[in-house]
């Protein structure tokens, strides 16, 4: 057990803040940048600008340059044609619920983060008195204290409504040395900007995590009915249905990869302070079923199939029904089987069925990846 007490005589520094024009992109490297994205004018209100703004703590100027140079930035956030969600009491405390029937691929809601900050603590230099000898745990505690001071500046820059919404979020990191702001980030944050082919950004080790007013209240399930995706152009997170959702059904996302076995998922969820008891984790046969689902689209399994389109049609229908019964439509194998049904019905010249599976593939792909699929 680490002793996370701050070293005697140590006081975290107040951040030294230098003001820049909001249009500035050429910042000195190696420092924290406090900025609102999109830029906010003095006196702007949420009533006038309901898309909101994100208070960002970025490390170095490159991240801001990458964001501002994203094609289409800042686009308005996409919105569903009518309200499709509500926040309310849940078996898990507070959760999000559907206010109407929602189809696979439909946009449930979209919002900008209240706060965005580095995924890891940037290399801040703690203000240690000369001659200090620190344990590893004391060094970690000091770094978190320095980071908390930086985050206090970000919180102070927020609109009062956004600050109140942020502080109303749960904090499960009250006993590990995290401050009240950093603790809420660790509890409620989602990765939003990372070095990926899709993002086009090169944030390196300092990708961003975002904390949201509504989406951060969505509870976890290893059999989620929704998936979130972050778009830099609108600087917003879109929550979409990965399967049909009924009115008043609770909306769930997964906080970890659902393609891993139960023990691995439980280990990933441990920092959140709960043990998952969803339908997948409660089923002792779920790991074996997951292995079979993954094998169903593997090379060896497909090689054993005959070239008969009818056999391939029945094969994928069986696996789609199996996946649906388990509530695992978020798995990529579900999308592969839809495509296999498209190929089989095309080969059988059943054009009505082909059209049905083509539309299903479009909806699944939009829900799974947050962007439309293009067919040749």
Are 252 and 316 within one domain? no
Query: SS3 string of 248-288?
Result: CCEEEECCCCCCCCHHHHHHHHHHHCCCCCCCCCCCCCHHH
How far apart CA 229 and CA 238 sit, in angstroms, is 5
Q: Which of 68-104 are b and which e, b meaning 16 or more Cβ less than 10 Å from the residue's Cβ? A: bebeebbbebeebeeebbeeeebeeeebbbbeeebeb
Where does the pLDDT of residue 231 fall: very low under 50, low under 70, confident under 90, or very high at 90 and above? very high
CA dihedral defined by 134, 138, 140, 144, rounded to 10 degrees?
Answer: -120
Final residue of a domain: which of 235, 250, 272? 272
Instruction: Report percent pLDDT > 70 for the chain.
Output: 86
Q: Is the pLDDT of residue 147 over 90?
A: no
Are 78 and 196 within one domain? yes
Are 320 and 175 within one domain? no
Q: What pTM does this model have? A: 0.89
Domain for residue 11, yes or no?
A: no
- The residue-averaged pLDDT of 235-259 equals 98
pLDDT of residue 301: 86
Q: Is the pLDDT of residue 2 over 50?
A: no
pLDDT of residue 161: 96
CA-based nearest residue to 345, from 354, 337, 335:
354
Are 155 and 114 within one domain? yes
- The residue-averaged pLDDT of 168-194 equals 87
Domain for residue 6, yes or no?
A: no
Are 225 and 323 within one domain? no
Are 39 and 101 within one domain? yes
Q: Which of 122-145 are b and which e, b meaning 16 or more Cβ less than 10 Å from the residue's Cβ? A: bebebeeeeeeeeeeebebbbbbb
What pairs with residue 230 in β-bridges?
A: 237
Are 63 and 123 within one domain? yes
Final residue of a domain: which of 272, 299, 334? 272
Are 190 and 310 within one domain? no
Burial bucket for residue 230 (CB in 10 Å: 0-12, 13-18, 19+): buried
> What's the CATH code of the domain at 223?
2.170.270.10
Burial bucket for residue 12 (CB in 10 Å: 0-12, 13-18, 19+): buried
pLDDT of residue 235: 96
How far apart CA 188 and CA 179 sit, in angstroms, is 14
CA-based nearest residue to 223, from 288, 290, 272:
290
pLDDT mean across residues, the chain? 88
Largest CA distance in the chain: 80
Are 188 and 332 within one domain? no
In the block, tokens 């696996």 appear at: 319
pLDDT of residue 66: 86
Q: List C-alpha distances in Å: 32 to 48, 153, 183, 202, 211.
A: 29, 11, 19, 17, 18
Domain span at residue 365 reads 286-369
Q: Considering its fold, how many domains does the chain have in total?
A: 2
Are 174 and 231 within one domain? yes
Structure tokens belonging to residue 124 = 């801040």
Q: Is the pLDDT of residue 201 over 90?
A: no
Domain for residue 208, yes or no?
A: yes
pLDDT of residue 132: 66
Are 237 and 295 within one domain? no
Are 119 and 155 within one domain? yes
Per mean pLDDT, which range of 95-99, 139-143, 159-163, 360-364 is the poorest? 139-143
Give the pLDDT confidence of 62-74 residue by residue, as tens digits.
888 889 899 999 9
Where does the pLDDT of residue 141 fall: very low under 50, low under 70, confident under 90, or very high at 90 and above? confident
Domain for residue 107, yes or no?
A: yes
Domain for residue 27, yes or no?
A: no
Per mean pLDDT, which range of 49-58, 168-177, 241-250 is the poorest? 168-177
Final residue of a domain: which of 272, 300, 316? 272
């Amino acid at each position: 057990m680490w002793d996370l007490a701050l070293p005697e005589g140590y006081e975290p520094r107040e951040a030294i803040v230098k003001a820049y024009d909001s249009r500035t992109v050429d910042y000195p490297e190696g420092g924290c940048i406090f900025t609102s994205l999109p830029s906010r004018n003095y006196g702007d209100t949420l009533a006038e600008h309901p898309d909101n703004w994100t208070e960002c703590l970025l490390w170095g100027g490159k991240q801001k340059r990458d964001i501002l140079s994203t094609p289409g930035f800042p686009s308005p956030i996409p919105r569903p044609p009518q309200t499709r969600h509500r926040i309310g009491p849940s078996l898990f405390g507070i959760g999000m619920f559907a206010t109407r029937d929602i189809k696979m691929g439909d946009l449930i809601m979209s919002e900008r983060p209240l706060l965005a900050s580095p995924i890891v603590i940037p290399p801040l230099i703690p203000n240690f008195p000369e001659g200090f000898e620190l344990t590893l745990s004391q060094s970690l505690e000091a770094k978190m204290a320095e980071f908390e001071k930086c985050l206090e500046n970000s919180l102070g820059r927020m609109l009062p409504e956004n600050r109140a919404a942020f502080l109303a979020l749960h904090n499960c990191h009250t006993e590990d040395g995290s401050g009240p702001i950093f603790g809420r980030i660790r509890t409620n944050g989602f990765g939003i900007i990372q070095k990926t082919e899709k993002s086009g950004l090169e944030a390196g080790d300092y990708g961003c995590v975002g904390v949201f007013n509504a989406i951060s209240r969505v509870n976890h399930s290893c059999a989620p009915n929704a998936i979130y995706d972050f778009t830099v152009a609108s600087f917003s997170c879109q929550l979409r249905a990965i399967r049909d959702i009924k009115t008043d059904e609770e909306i769930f996302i997964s906080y970890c990869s659902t393609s891993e076995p139960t023990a691995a998922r439980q280990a990933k969820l441990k920092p959140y302070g709960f043990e998952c008891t969803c339908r997948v984790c409660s089923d002792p046969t779920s790991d074996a079923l997951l292995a079979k689902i993954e094998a169903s689209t593997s090379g060896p399994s497909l090689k054993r199939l005959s070239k008969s389109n009818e056999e391939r049609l029945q094969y994928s229908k069986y696996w789609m029904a199996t996946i649906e019964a388990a509530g695992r439509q978020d798995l990529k194998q579900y999308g592969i089987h839809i495509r296999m049904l498209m190929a089989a019905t095309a080969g059988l010249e059943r054009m009505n069925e082909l059209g049905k599976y083509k539309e299903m593939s479009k909806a699944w792909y939009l829900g799974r990846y947050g962007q439309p699929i293009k067919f040749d």
